[in-house]
Amino acid sequence: MLFSRGFSRIPRSSFNGLRRLFLSSQLEYCAYHFIHTNNPKFLPHSTHMVLSGRHDFFPGFLASLHGSRHQIHQQSSSIVEDQHDPFSLVADELSLVADRLRSMVIAEVPKLASAAEYFFKMGVEGKRFRPTVLLLMSTAVNLSVPEPPKGLGDSVTTEMRNRQQSIAEITEMIHVASLLHDDVLDDADTRRGIGSLNFVMGNKLAVLAGDFLLSRACVALASLKNTEVVSLLATVVEHLVTGETMQMTTSSGQRCSMEYYMQKTYYKTASLISNSCKAIALLAGQTEEVATLAYEYGKNLGLAYQLIDDVLDFTGTSASLGKGSLSDIRHGIVTAPILFAIEEFPQLRAVVEQGFDNPTNVDLALEYLGRSHGIQKTKELAMKHANLAAEAIDSLPENDDEDVKRSRRALVDLTQRVVKRTK
Amino acid sequence: MLFSRGFSRIPRSSFNGLRRLFLSSQLEYCAYHFIHTNNPKFLPHSTHMVLSGRHDFFPGFLASLHGSRHQIHQQSSSIVEDQHDPFSLVADELSLVADRLRSMVIAEVPKLASAAEYFFKMGVEGKRFRPTVLLLMSTAVNLSVPEPPKGLGDSVTTEMRNRQQSIAEITEMIHVASLLHDDVLDDADTRRGIGSLNFVMGNKLAVLAGDFLLSRACVALASLKNTEVVSLLATVVEHLVTGETMQMTTSSGQRCSMEYYMQKTYYKTASLISNSCKAIALLAGQTEEVATLAYEYGKNLGLAYQLIDDVLDFTGTSASLGKGSLSDIRHGIVTAPILFAIEEFPQLRAVVEQGFDNPTNVDLALEYLGRSHGIQKTKELAMKHANLAAEAIDSLPENDDEDVKRSRRALVDLTQRVVKRTK
């Protein structure tokens, strides 16, 4: 959910209100979040309408990820010299996974198949982020490592790798199923720049296609014959639903509550990538300790990405406040920058509790935000989580295998690319 | 899906068209279906809009099931002397299952819990049919049988029984999840005589609640640590979706195709009960042969019920054509009686292919149906499947345990009650 949103953003409209951006450092918040960050009940307070289908296609970010290599300061990693592009490391295997995904959603009913294939057909780069992370994690935690992929087929020389690739496929199916249902929920008429499925084919088919993908994901999970992994990913679906429902039914008080926000964010954004990373480690036959480190990487990477996404919704590609699409706040979704601003300007709480149906309230909130350190605090918090993700990788048991080391460097590299992006 | 539809029917309106009902015997069709009945690709041609939420609450049938004991001719069973009420045999255990279902859908988000509990709270008798069959099957196929339930707790004295009860709970969750989504799909404003969830709480919450139930079902499945059972029930979800999509995207030609209809009917109506019956046998540690007999019982019981349901949609509580709600045909859904009628009156095909938006076509189809043997052939086909279901039970390995014999008699009894019902 999380990444597709970030990878699929188009500034829907630019806001002409307040543009000032104040920068400062509020490390006490990072300290606060550092203390609480390993407790799902006290996750950093950032979220995003990851299930709402409110953002459209923006192809630039992956390109910027690819293009920005060599420009990253590895602040928390001991591996500063890494020059590897995380995406090219698994490019061939990604194609294999994409092909298998398409073949997995072939149904006996052509129309259902076409519905389920809808996103997989698009070749939207955004969809590649989760599989990239999971394939890199597969190598990073593998005890025995296969030859790096040289082409289709080479990357699936081991049964274990096959099973780990299945996790990447299952994760994408769960993700796309939720997108399909989200489009229905919100009657979204666009998705990644193209008409959403419910717009093109009707709500009914979109819901059915989502159910179909969930059932295929469940069948694929069962075929792994690992009930712990089945439980992990079934729980993810529950988390996605719970998070969305929490957001949907937020009371005016809860909308300003950091704790409520933390929990919702974990459910909505971090659970999928963190638990699938953990599943990868479990299938590798790794210890619970290593599986927990994989989980921590996914959780913190996801949270970091989301926090930056929340900032970009206000700033867009520029560094100026109001240049973003402002789609969150205009949909009444209160994200990290506003929550930080409330801590500085308690009178903003009344505005937030009134809601944002009235554009005047949006302007007012942006004015408070501009006078606060909300944007900067959110960026610092994102960097804190990026660093925690990198630390989780650095804490993995030492391994001299070059492929393992290369994949771990790539995973650390990703954490920094995610927070440095400006679009 | 199947049973709730049958158990929750209200004649929405009575049709004042043609009332004549011709009775005759067309055994060649029964022979035809008898030959093909074990091949899913050649399932008897009957179906029902089981996923469409088009029927409302009708409390009478269970009462009629209870009331009709001792009045049944055990046409295909060697056990003619059975006096047991199938429902009272498992009454205590059914309450336990219902209580556990309620506790299983408690969510951290009250509103989500209330949405998921929506149907379980209702105490709609219809929901009890599937668990009744599955609990009776649990005893019928158990190698070692616990004491018959005397009260809460007594019925869960063995781990195996616990796991079989879980199948009953999971089956209900999958069923209710599909109802929730169906209400959204069809924008149904009633369900079992009360406002449907999407009417009361909105489509969004109904879809989320369905997803939530599916995820809880998947977690519960995983806890059984039997990947074959997980695959079985995941496949059921896929079948429900496939069947619904087949119906949704039926071309005018397919609507008159028996084979298409047979396959769709299996997916939409028989898959859930047949595969959950099989899961019960597998959890009992039974052989593949016994598991297949359990599957055959569920499949044929489901098909028999559906065929009678199709008849009742035309005849209602009386034996007169046009007394039913006619909701199928009015929604353009062509069921067994019409398909049989087409075989006698090929000119009816043109009417069916035109669709039934025009009430004149409904009248015309009813006239052809009245002149045909469609109703009678459908009833005969239902009896054929009821008998096949009974034969599956009679084919189970002999067992002298009184509880086993009592449960088997009750299962056979059910097959006859289902086809004898007049409402």
Same domain, B186 and B231: yes
Same domain, B377 and B410: yes
Q: What is the residue range of B34's domain?
A: 2-84
Where a domain ends, among B25, B55, B84?
B84
The letter for the amino acid at A154 is D
d(CA A8, CA A20): 26
- For residue B411, pLDDT over 90 is answered with yes
Does A211 sit within 8 Å of B237, measured CB to CB? yes
Does A230 sit within 8 Å of B221, measured CB to CB? yes
d(CA B34, CA B345): 24
Task: List the single residue in B107, B224, B248 with the smallest CB-CB distance to A204.
Answer: B248
d(CA A121, CA A112): 14
Sorted by sequence, the CB contacts under 8 Å of residue B408 that are 6+ apart come out as B79, B140, B393, B394, B396, B399
Token readout for B134 is: 């599955």
Does B225 sit within 8 Å of A227, measured CB to CB? yes
Token readout for A48 is: 């995003």
Where a domain ends, among B41, B56, B84?
B84
Please list the residues that pair with A326 across neighbouring strands: none
The residue count for chain A? 423
Q: Which residue does chain B place closest to A245, by CA atoms?
A: B112
The letter for the amino acid at B270 is A
pTM over 0.90, yes/no: no
Q: Is B245 on the interface with A (CB under 8 A)?
A: yes
Q: Is A204 on the interface with B (CB under 8 A)?
A: yes
Q: Which residue has the tokens 């070059």?
A: A402
Same domain, B118 and B63: no
Task: List the single residue in A109, A216, A228 with the smallest CB-CB distance to B246.
Answer: A109
Task: List the single residue in A181, A208, A246 with the smallest CB-CB distance to B245.
Answer: A208
- Return per-residue pLDDT of chain A as tens, 423 residues: 333 333 232 222 222 222 222 222 222 222 223 223 333 333 333 322 222 222 322 223 333 444 333 333 334 343 334 455 777 888 888 888 888 887 777 766 677 777 666 666 554 445 578 899 999 999 999 875 445 555 544 444 578 888 999 999 999 899 888 888 876 655 444 444 555 555 555 677 778 888 888 888 988 998 898 889 999 998 999 899 888 888 877 787 888 887 787 788 889 889 999 999 999 999 999 999 999 999 999 999 999 988 998 899 999 876 666 667 788 888 888 999 999 999 999 999 999 988 888 889 999 999 999 999 999 999 999 999 999 999 999 999 999 999 999 999 999 999 999 999 877
Token readout for B152 is: 């809460």
CATH number reported for the structural domain that contains residue A287 in this entry: 1.10.600.10
Task: List the single residue in B223, B234, B248 with the smallest CB-CB distance to A222.
Answer: B234
Per the prediction, chain A carries an average pLDDT of 73
Q: Is A245 on the interface with B (CB under 8 A)?
A: yes
- DSSP labels, A81-132: -----HHHHTHHHHHHHHHHHHHHT--SSHHHHHHHTHHHHHT-GGGGHHHH
Q: Residue ranges of the alpha helices (H) in B203-319?
A: 203-223, 227-248, 258-265, 271-283, 288-315
Please list the residues that pair with B190 across neighbouring strands: B195
Please list the residues that pair with B113 across neighbouring strands: none
CA distance B225 to chain A (A): 6
Q: Is B261 on the interface with A (CB under 8 A)?
A: no
Candidates B198, B231, B245, partner chain A, best to mutate (most A CBs within 10 A): B245
Residues of chain A positioned with their CB less than 8 A from the CB of B207:
181, 184-185, 207
Q: Which residue does chain A place closest to B212, by CA atoms?
A: A238
Q: Is B251 on the interface with A (CB under 8 A)?
A: no
Same domain, B154 and B238: yes
Task: List the single residue in B109, B184, B248 with the smallest CB-CB distance to A242.
Answer: B109
Mean pLDDT to the nearest integer, B137-148: 72
- Residues A238 and B105 sit within 8 Å (Cβ to Cβ): no
Same domain, B76 and B165: no
- Residues B59 and B415 sit within 8 Å (Cβ to Cβ): no
Does B205 sit within 8 Å of A184, measured CB to CB? no
CA distance A209 to chain B (A): 8
Where a domain ends, among B52, B84, B116?
B84
Same domain, A316 and A304: yes
Give me the phi and psi of A148, to 5 degrees please: -60, 145
Most confidently modeled of B177-186, B281-290, B328-337?
B281-290
Residues of chain B positioned with their CB less than 8 A from the CB of A214:
211, 214, 237
Predicted pLDDT of residue B178: 84
Same domain, B252 and B307: yes
First to last CA, chain B: 18
Same domain, B249 and B365: yes
CA distance A22 to chain B (A): 37
Same domain, B49 and B118: no
Same domain, A125 and A255: yes
Q: What is the DSSP letter of B187?
A: T
Residues of chain A positioned with their CB less than 8 A from the CB of B52:
none
Same domain, B52 and B92: no
Same domain, B126 and B73: no
Does B185 sit within 8 Å of A241, measured CB to CB? no
Candidates B212, B238, B263, partner chain A, best to mutate (most A CBs within 10 A): B238
d(CA A299, CA B421): 56
When divided into structural domains, chain A yields a total of 2
